[in-house]
Amino acid sequence: FQDPKFRRMFSEYAEELTDPENRRRYEEEITALERERGVEVRFVHPEPGHVLRTSLDGARRCFVNVCSNALVGAPSSRPSSGSAASGSQWSLPYSLAPGREYAGGRGIRYTVYDVVFHPDALALARRHERFRQMLDATALEAVEKQFGVKLDRRNAKTLKIKYKGTPEAAVLRTPLPGGVPAR
């Protein structure tokens, strides 16, 4: 970083990476390449919702961004079965991306996960406290199951910020009917 030429080139590279036009072009190229391989690709850009602060495996700080994107399935409910149970049974589809590691103040490292739900799920969570609790529990459970980690659910706290870290798109891959097209 001492060399001014290197700093200038590094700055240009960083600008190129963050340019929305370059990102759009990159996503179009990946989509076209995957389509040739018989796979439909959709990029799920997380829209900030709220952040849960917890700990990961009892050892380090962890944040779970509860986000939204319309590409994720909408929440749905049906009446609970059984005479003693009253209420609804909810289906809350979500999308997950692998955790990302960041360095915080004083060199403390922390991990961030994004759990992306449909915008209707976050809207319901803003209006109904019990639904928000269910949504947050689903987000924490999803991270634990998918990545084989243990989160401190009892001490999880909702922060006042809407997002922690830098948003990164997750990728939804769906095989196209008929598999890989013939060349």
For 9-58, give the DSSP string. Answer: HHHHHHHHHH-HHHHHHHHHHHHHHHHHTTEEEEEEPPEEEEEEEEEETT
Whole-number average pLDDT of the chain: 87
* pLDDT tens per residue across span 56-72: 988 889 999 999 999 99
27-31 own/partner pairs: CB under 8 Å, 24+ apart: 27/169, 30/171
Q: What is the mean pLDDT of residues 31-48?
A: 88
Q: What is the mean pLDDT of residues 120-129?
A: 96
% of residues, the chain, pLDDT over 70: 92
**pTM of the shown model:** 0.79
Per the model's pLDDT, the better-predicted residue between 11 and 55 turns out to be 55
Instruction: Give me the pLDDT at residue 39, please.
Output: 87
Under the banding of pLDDT at 50, 70 and 90, the label for residue 48 is very high
140-144 own/partner pairs: CB under 8 Å, 24+ apart: 140/52, 140/54, 140/64, 142/94, 142/96, 142/115, 143/64, 143/96, 143/99, 143/113, 143/115
Under the banding of pLDDT at 50, 70 and 90, the label for residue 128 is very high
